[in-house]
Structure 1
Amino acid sequence: MTTMIDIAALAALLQEAAYEEIRPRFRNLGEGDVRMKTEAIDLVTEADEAAERHIRRGIEALMPDALFIGEEAFAADPPLLAKLADADLAVVVDPIDGTFNFAAGLTLFGVMLAVVSKGETVAGIIYDPIGNDWAICEKGSGAWLCRPDGSQEQMFMRPSGPLEQMIGIANTGFFDIDQRRTILSNLAQVRLFTSYRCAAHEYRLLGQGHMDFAMYNKLMPWDHLAGALMMEEAGGHVARFDGSPYRPSHVDGGLLIAADEEAWQELREKIFTV
């Protein structure tokens, strides 16, 4: 990898934004601080916008040549996303992943950042403001859980087992109704499935060996670039539903993550037949 990335400085920036802009507003949002974007479950808060501004200022100082794409910047300027595929260097940020949970006072939210170089994700960070720790990956260097005391633990997806004993994440809300019925019926074959409405924590659970699979249909880069690279670095098999690699420019085609290719194929054939 030729792009020089100060991953420690980026991690510290996310922590700083969380401590200055996110945590003070957690369970402390005033009237008018929460607004609906596209529907009742798609929200933005003052904390999202303030944290993104904070992170953007930091990126401009740390990586002045990088294209900055934040979830809220995209909401204000949708054509911005088209620039990602051709950018020499880009930083993609979700200032609060799990805004619905955050607005409801639930602790399942995180801050996500991915670095993209010439159409390839090369680094990712998922920061937990409540636990005050980071899941960090750089391409070719593994995935690591980093704690504030400086200790680190390498992350690995757990080995796959039989389908009927698998537990995982299944986000079915963005399928049409007939596809959703089929998938929900097929999911009876696994032991347990859920959705935390927060990809940040879902990817961390996978990387720490607590889950067997995850499935997403809607792909926005701030939600999945960091996590997808993290799962690859944790030994998992990550691909779109047609088996093709997931790239930063993809916003559709679904995403399925499993411990290995054999488990991925079984899940694709028996569960996620869309």
Structure 2
Amino acid sequence: MKPTIDVARLAELLREAAKAEIMPRFRNLSDGDIREKTSATDLVTEADEAAERFIARECRSLLPEALFVGEESVAADASLLDRLDAADLAVVVDPIDGTANFAAGVPLFAVMMAIVSRGETVAGLIYDPLGDDCMLAEKGAGARRRLSSGEEFPLATAAHVPLSEAVGCISYTYFPDELKKAVLPRLSGVKIAGNYRCAGHEYRLLASGGSQFAIYSKLMPWDHLPGVLITQEAGGHVGKIDGSPYTPLDREGTLIAAGSEESWHAAREGLFPRA
């Protein structure tokens, strides 16, 4: 039996965390509030850590039986990822997706959450602190945009168009060098190919019909579980480039999320060399 999840309350929780811990620090960070993790483009700020603590504390009250897996928690204790794989119920959180944008004062970042039950994503949420709205989905119940007023509107992905007319987002930073060399020249066949440095907003664009595809590697769960479910529930198609489904157990590989199965195949066949 799937757990009963109050996604509206979870959406409000993300909003509360953003208002309390994220927005007061936006464009108000000192040098000591920003630190590198693995590189100059992989950052953590005081806002990330404070927002994650806020969300974790509230989740202990809302879902006391759930394992909490936050991006910053895993940075401190990598074994949490192994526990996620076996958890009956888990909350997976990215307190600020797009930290590099946030740290640079760029208004393009999001707060992301997924609920995972026995290896299956059953709920996903992506909150935009600046737009003050949340895109959310429950497994089998469709995807919707929830305003701060509580009003909700259904989401739908875009119809297929030829790759030459398509809009896509591609994050190729972690592509192997040979794959990067093979794929990048092929982007000339796409009408618009961009990179927001924020998967949350790229998934929001895809789920609301603003693009035909998004492509990623380095498949950390907090970056993709919410957006994949929202895309699928809005009518899209998601899979790794070998055609296999993406699951919460995946950490590596290349992922294509698309507005339709036809758009998925167009991106796969048009951008990636055949094995």
Which range, TM-score by smaller chain?
Answer: over 0.9
Q: Is 1:159 the equivalent of 2:142?
A: no
Q: Is 1:209 the equivalent of 2:204?
A: no
Residue 158 of structure 1 aligns to a residue whose secondary structure is coil
Identical-residue share of aligned pairs (%)? 54
> Structure 2 length as normaliser, TM-score?
0.97
User: Which residue of structure 2 lines up, in the alignment, with residue 169 of structure 1?
Assistant: 169
Q: CA deviation at 1:226?
A: 0.3
Question: Could you report, residue by residue, the CA deviation over 1:111-143 in whole angstroms, capped at 9, with x for unpaired residues?
Answer: 000000010000011001111100010001111
Between 253-262 and 241-250, the greater mean CA deviation after superposition: 253-262
Instruction: Quote the Cα distance in structure 2 between the aligned partners of 1:88 and 1:192.
Output: 41
> Structure 1 length as normaliser, TM-score?
0.98
Instruction: Quote the Cα distance in structure 2 between the aligned partners of 1:162 and 1:269.
Output: 12
Tell me if the contact between 1:144 and 1:155 (Cα under 8 Å) persists in the aligned partners: yes
Q: CA deviation at 1:259?
A: 2.2
Instruction: Quote the Cα distance in structure 1 between the aligned partners of 2:270 and 2:161.
Output: 15
Instruction: Quote the Cα distance in structure 2 between the aligned partners of 1:261 and 1:15.
Output: 33
Instruction: Quote the Cα distance in structure 2 between the aligned partners of 1:40 and 1:30.
Output: 16
Q: Is 1:14 the equivalent of 2:8?
A: no
Between 32-41 and 142-151, the greater mean CA deviation after superposition: 142-151
Q: CA RMSD in A?
A: 1.0
Structure 2 residue ranges without an equivalent (≥5): none
Tell me if the contact between 2:163 and 2:270 (Cα under 8 Å) persists in the aligned partners: no
Question: Could you report, residue by residue, the CA deviation over 1:2-59 in whole angstroms, capped at 9, with x for unpaired residues?
Answer: 2110111111111111111001000000130000000000000000000000000000
User: Which residue of structure 2 lines up, in the alignment, with residue 104 of structure 1?
Assistant: 104
User: Which residue of structure 1 lines up, in the alignment, with residue 119 of structure 2?
Assistant: 119
Q: CA deviation at 1:150?
A: 2.2
Structure 1 residue ranges without an equivalent (≥5): none
Aligned residue pairs: how many? 274
Residue 32 of structure 1 aligns to a residue whose secondary structure is helix
Instruction: Quote the Cα distance in structure 2 between the aligned partners of 1:171 and 1:27.
Output: 25
Q: CA deviation at 1:249?
A: 1.1
Q: Partner amino acid for 1:64?
A: P
Deviating 4+ runs (over 6 angstroms):
none
User: Which residue of structure 2 lines up, in the alignment, with residue 179 of structure 1?
Assistant: 179
Tell me if the contact between 1:242 and 1:253 (Cα under 8 Å) persists in the aligned partners: no
Q: CA deviation at 1:176?
A: 2.3
User: Which residue of structure 1 lines up, in the alignment, with residue 67 of structure 2?
Assistant: 67
